[in-house]
Structure 1
Amino acid sequence: MSILALDLGTSSVRGLVLDEHARPLPGALARRRVSLAVGADGAGTLDADVYLARLAQCLDALADGGHLDDIDLVATSAQWHSVVALGAAGTPIGPVLTWMDTRPEPAGGQRGPADPDAFHQRTGTWWHRCYWSVRLPWLRRRAGGHATGFVGLAEYALSVLLDAAPMSVSQASGTGLLDLATMGWDPEACALAGTGPAELPELAPAGWHGRLRPEYARRWPALAGARWTAPVGDGAASNVGSGCVLPERAAVTVGTSAAVRVVRPVVPGGPLPRLAPRLWRYRVDHRHVVTGAAYSSGGNLFAWANRELRLPGGEELDAALARVPIAGGAPAVNVCFGGDRPPGLTPAGSGVLRGLGFGTTSVDILAGLMRGLSELVAVDVTALESESDSPIEVVLGGGAMVASAWWRRAFAAALAPRTVWHQRNPEVGATGAALVALDRIGDAVRLVDVDRTDH
């Protein structure tokens, strides 16, 4: 048996095939970049139908290579927080808002939750532009009354391909409208959003499976009998794929953006641990929650510096970074180039570089950006430790961590004296989604291979 793992990210769509132990098979990978539309006003959007076409191209490429012939199960890791308004025909009205979009704001005079702390404990979120409680009224105003429903990007794409596409509790938790304990839509959050169950996706029960629609089963006959599982939020999947499924092990994942998270098992329907004020909490599945903090900056800092600062390339860049001290020797920075993630409200365009001189090089600036994010994450690891009964160790993962040994060392310095490990697999999201689909979250620590960070 093989597993097809889909990763529906912000900058790309990927499909890869894994064996029954969630290990990637050589050469069985297809990737298509997607174009994120960003604007000076804080826009960060995707075209839903273009995105769906890129996903189909990945499946075509895997089929052409003969990689889909033994697929029994399809698992999906998908971006949290995205939303698109649908019209009467079930087609998108306008683009998809991604987590990067900082434009939504409450209407004038609208009041938030009656008890903000109780709301935070119940939903794991805040009344914030990142969540549907603020996004849906804003989208409805822009749609001019034509919106009849709202879905995430994953639910829209899968609703076209599958016979049904209910929303997983993991994806629903990222909307900010889910009561994490009851795993149903929260009445107060829905009231703030001006919506109700009739306009929201159906919630997938535990163990849900879907099948391809007949027209797509004909296009990819090898997948005709495959069982599709409900998507897992990308952050939760990355934790599982990094082997971080115990409260004493945190995952720091740096892809396009970055986050630090801890997964813990919980009893379905039972009480949840109290949540620290600066942290969010979402669902991995019906038996696990994930707690953490996220940042709008990550690998996009390197992409910006590479584009604008004429950095050297390859081994020359590695050698230049090696000459920059891990502590000191680079500008001080504020890395909020894309604004704050919840609960912060700093707008996009708030990045700052300080301490520049005529001797400052482009590599010094890059090092300052990387160190700035590392130090920001270290603050939130301390907050996560307040919820743990034992010291936390950290596993670094994601494409940016694979690419930069200097950045791994900067994280190790910022997180000292904690033990810091490095996850070498760049596809932690897809691997984690496969382990969740296999109901093998508890095996992640044993199956995932990590190394001590090269200090």
Structure 2
Amino acid sequence: MTGGRVLALDLGTSSVRALVCDASAAPLPGLLARRAVEPQQDEDGRAEVDPDVYVAGLVECLDELSAAGSLDGISVVATSSQWHSVLAISADGRPASPVLTWLDTRAPAPSEPADPEAFHRRTGAWVHPLYWTAKAPFVRSSVAGAVRFRGLPDYVRGVLLGDDSTSLSVASGTGLLDVGAGHWDAEALAIAGLAENEVPPISDAPGRLASKWAARWPALATADWQPVLGDGAASNLGAGCATSDALAVTVGTSAALRVVHGGDEAPDLPWGAWRYRVDAERLVTGVAFSGGGVLHAWAVRLLGLDKDAEPTVAPGRSGLLSVPLHAGSRPPGSAPAGSGLVYGLSLDTSAEEFLAATLEGVAIEVARAAELLEKAFGRRLEIVLGGGATHASPWWRRTFAATLDRPVLLASDPEVGARGAAALALNLAVDRPVEIVRPDPGDVKAMAAARSRYDALRNGLDQPH
């Protein structure tokens, strides 16, 4: 599909958003509705959302745009959604459980596959509490009766369109998909204790609103709802990183590095990286971290600083080392929430130094992951920074450039996920951004010294005890 305006939905972890994009997939100023999402979290690792409250937030966003006349002329709806969520659905179609988000770490890891490396190559994933291999049995243990399992975006589509099938992209984030073949993996289903009729059918066919909602939003009655795109894949497309020569670094609530590539360009998958699908033609290989913008929010709250506070100390000069595992580690790591570490505190440590070290730790983890991916792809990649957290923090952008020791590009709009979904729906490529963040030589030297100390500490933590 080409031309026209697009309604782009972003089903995020901390908010649900609906925005209108123009024919170039650029968000139109002022045509954005947002509702906050607050996962219910406990110290035991719980991170749930109520699926009906979530849908109600999205409905409010669409009502707001509709009341302003902003939905007029929309012919296509594109959706970017968080990966890895799961909930149980009862026989009457009602939720039988809350949605477990990617943040939920309570599920114990089940039995290992017969050949973990072969399983990783096939599914692009691991048997881990992030994925349905662990989450689905955990959810099943808390519900009664026959249920089927769906992701949050599948449930949203089921409510609005009457079709709760899943897309190839969303399916690839479950850890149950054979990403090369494009179908559910038999061994992964067996590990999860799932029959194929308990997981959603996979379809990338567009859909239409159910009559109830078409009457509520008549401007969308004939719009085509395109298959949902996993937020990581969408962010790459929205940042202009749709080819294998570019590495997108996206920092929102969490942080991730990703490379989009064709199947014929796929390198051997290193053990520390995952691989999902963009669509039937393209894959995305990357590394993700649970700590991103959430750590900035945590640090300023802890320190009593303004929510938009920036460090006053230059990058690499905090004197502290912060290992950003506060929210646990993503697979293949298994560090639980509460594993963060701050080393080097003294009675003279300032709030600004503590905040700086927190952000430096994320930048160093990103640099370590960039080296892994560049080694896998066998070349130096152009790096694009994107996501709300990097757009909000010039200091963090400066630190990323210094830690990576190269000029980096800055995505032209913070709404990279929604923009990427819109671009795919319009069958166009977003241009790579032109704004450059150049590293300061003094910052590079200071961050290199901090990185050396950090690596010694981090590598020691990774050793078995």
Q: Tell me if TM exceeds 0.5.
A: yes
Q: Offset of 1:272 from its aligned partner?
A: 4.7
Alpha carbons 1:336, 1:350 under 8 Å: kept: yes
Name the amino acid aligned to 1:64: A
Taking structure 1 as the reference length, what is the TM-score of the superposition? 0.93
Q: Offset of 1:407 from its aligned partner?
A: 0.4
Q: Determine the structure 2 residue equivalent to 1:453.
A: 437
Q: Determine the structure 2 residue equivalent to 1:150.
A: 149
Q: Secondary structure at the match of 2:48?
A: strand
Q: Determine the structure 1 residue equivalent to 2:275.
A: 281
Q: Determine the structure 2 residue equivalent to 1:67.
A: 70
CA distance in 2, matches of 1:364, 1:158: 45
Q: Offset of 1:371 from its aligned partner?
A: 0.3
CA distance in 2, matches of 1:424, 1:361: 34
Q: Determine the structure 1 residue equivalent to 2:219.
A: 222
Q: Report matched runs for 1:75-224 at 5 Å.
A: 75-106=78-109, 111-144=111-144, 146-205=145-204, 208-224=205-221
Match of 2:349 among 339, 352, 360: 360
Q: Determine the structure 2 residue equivalent to 1:3.
A: 6
Kindly provide the CA deviation profile for residues 328-383 of structure 1, in whole angstroms up to 9, marking residues without a partner as x.
32421111111111111000111111111122111111110100000011111011
Name the amino acid aligned to 2:351: S
CA distance in 2, matches of 1:367, 1:429: 27
Alpha carbons 1:311, 1:363 under 8 Å: kept: no
Structure 1 residues 130, 313: CA separation in 2 closer, same or farther (over 3 Å shift)? closer
CA distance in 2, matches of 1:389, 1:333: 30
CA distance in 2, matches of 1:263, 1:419: 21
Alpha carbons 1:163, 1:210 under 8 Å: kept: no
Q: Offset of 1:134 from its aligned partner?
A: 1.2
Alpha carbons 1:124, 1:180 under 8 Å: kept: yes
CA distance in 2, matches of 1:178, 1:450: 36
Structure 2, unmatched stretches of 5+, are: 440-465
Q: Determine the structure 2 residue equivalent to 1:245.
A: 242
Identity %: 48
Q: Determine the structure 2 residue equivalent to 1:39.
A: 42
Q: Secondary structure at the match of 2:97?
A: strand
CA distance in 1, matches of 2:307, 2:284: 37
CA distance in 2, matches of 1:352, 1:13: 31
After superposition, the CA RMSD in angstroms is 1.4
CA distance in 1, matches of 2:37, 2:318: 36
Kindly provide the CA deviation profile for residues 39-60 of structure 1, in whole angstroms up to 9, marking residues without a partner as x.
0001111110000000000000
Name the amino acid aligned to 1:379: R
Name the amino acid aligned to 1:451: E
CA distance in 2, matches of 1:312, 1:72: 42
Residue 258 in 1 paired to residue 255 in 2? yes
How many residues are treated as equivalent by the alignment? Answer: 436
CA distance in 2, matches of 1:426, 1:147: 42
Match of 2:325 among 336, 348, 351: 336
Q: Determine the structure 1 residue equivalent to 2:363.
A: 374
Alpha carbons 1:140, 1:147 under 8 Å: kept: no
Alpha carbons 2:236, 2:242 under 8 Å: kept: yes
Q: Offset of 1:127 from its aligned partner?
A: 0.7
Q: Determine the structure 1 residue equivalent to 2:410.
A: 422
Residue 304 in 1 paired to residue 298 in 2? yes
Stretch deviating more after TM superposition (335-344 or 385-394) = 385-394
Stretch deviating more after TM superposition (340-349 or 328-337) = 328-337
Alpha carbons 2:257, 2:370 under 8 Å: kept: yes
CA distance in 1, matches of 2:184, 2:16: 29
Name the amino acid aligned to 2:411: Q
CA distance in 2, matches of 1:59, 1:71: 12
Name the amino acid aligned to 1:290: V
Q: Offset of 1:312 from its aligned partner?
A: 4.4
Q: Report matched runs for 1:395-414 at 5 Å.
A: 395-414=384-403
Q: Determine the structure 2 residue equivalent to 1:435.
A: 423
